[in-house]
Amino acid sequence: MNLTKEKVLSMTVPTPFAVGPVNCFLLKGDALTLVDTGPRTPEAQQELEKQLHSYGVAFEDIDQVVLTHHHPDHIGLVGRMMKNGVNVLGHWKNDRWLQMSDSFLKENEAFMTGIYREAGVPEQYFDHVSDTRGYLAYTDRAKCDRHLSEGDDVPGCSGWTVMETPGHAQSHISLWHKETGMMIAGDHLIKKISSNPLLEPPYVKGTERPKPLLQQRNSYRKTLDAHLQYVYTGHGEPILNPDELIKVRLQKQEERSEKVASFLNRPMTAFEVCQQLFPGVYKKQTGLTLSETIGHLDYLESENVIVKIKEKEKTVYRSRS
């Protein structure tokens, strides 16, 4: 085993977001590979360059960037790095977020507006639909040179393969080093916080939307099957007991779903459930808390615990029992 080739070098750069700093990783394989870049801010770039330098690497030396998922705190600098001629690798589901075409941004907002209406959100909170635009300001337009999907080898990084881990983002992949049981997990797994399953529009217009909490649970189970030893994460410290943590995440989701089910002895909209589940927080973080709430409603519906009843514009949910 060539230890230098599989070594993961960590870097931590600041972000302007509530989540705090983000971790990026350097793999010195046959291709000098950066996993995630940090957001597009002068502070993040400066810090990334400084920390690369401490590993004897200049910004311009990087051959390729692998994207764990499309969120700006992870990929913001990729457009800038493309100008240096780096190859960009990621799941094809990143593409619409990297291109950021006006038509897609409009489609995304129309989708979220539809979600808000169906969930019975009062008009005063609809401003939150455009939060995404502000958030996307921390990234440049870019494109993937090569798509990675389930089971692919990561080119130039011997022993590393791709595991699709959707849930937090549709585009999410994790990098798995089977021989040593290591993973670079982006926001799929984080030690101190549970990562939100986030709603996104379907990839084929007019088809059913993805159900992110159900996807996340599947991704968790798939990760358990890999019997990991050590997980590098997108935020905070590495995880030394991944199986234990994943089981806790699954358990906590079930407990929260049970709590949601306990509200539903009368019909309620998703927004009414959201207000009870996240009192205080839902006003400021309407999009995040609504995504999480709808995730639990999707889960309870899939388990046949609740029924979904479509009214005129709104949808209500109630317990089957």
Min separation Cβ 167 and Zn ion, Å: 11
Residue 187 or 200 with smaller CB distance to Zn ion: 187
Cα separation, 40 vs 223, whole angstroms: 30
Min separation Cβ 248 and Zn ion, Å: 20
Min separation Cβ 173 and Zn ion, Å: 12
Distances (CA, A) of 166 to 21, 217, 289: 22, 9, 19
Number of residues that bind Zn ion (CB under 5 A): 2
Min separation Cβ 71 and Zn ion, Å: 4
Q: In the numeric block, which tokens belong to residue 129?
A: 């639909």
Residue 264 or 294 with smaller CB distance to Zn ion: 294
* Angle, helix 242-263 to helix 270-277, in steps of 10 degrees: 120
Min separation Cβ 4 and Zn ion, Å: 30
Q: Is 298 in the site for Zn ion (CB under 5 A)?
A: no
Cα separation, 46 vs 60, whole angstroms: 13
Measured at CB, which residue is nearest to Zn ion? Answer: 71
Which 179-198 positions form the footprint of Zn ion (CB under 5 A)? 187
Q: What are the beta bridge partners of residue 174? A: 163
Which 215-274 positions form the footprint of Zn ion (CB under 5 A)? none
Sign of CA dihedral 185, 222, 32, 37: negative
Cα separation, 181 vs 172, whole angstroms: 19
Spell out the residues 6+ positions from residue 112 whose beta carbon is closer than 8 angstroms to its own: 129, 132, 199, 287
Identified binder of Zn ion from the candidate list 24, 27, 35, 71, rule CB under 5 A: 71
Residue 87 or 171 with smaller CB distance to Zn ion: 171
Nearest Cα residue to 308 out of 233, 208, 240, 238: 208
Min separation Cβ 193 and Zn ion, Å: 11
Residue 70 or 296 with smaller CB distance to Zn ion: 70
Cα separation, 75 vs 236, whole angstroms: 17
Cα separation, 12 vs 207, whole angstroms: 39
Residue 71 or 128 with smaller CB distance to Zn ion: 71
Show the site string, 134-173: x = touches Zn ion by CB under 5 A, - = not: ----------------------------------------
Q: Which stretch binds Zn ion (CB under 5 A): 49-57, 68-76, 101-109, 154-162?
A: 68-76
Residue 120 or 186 with smaller CB distance to Zn ion: 186
Q: Which residues bind Zn ion (CB under 5 A)?
A: 71, 187
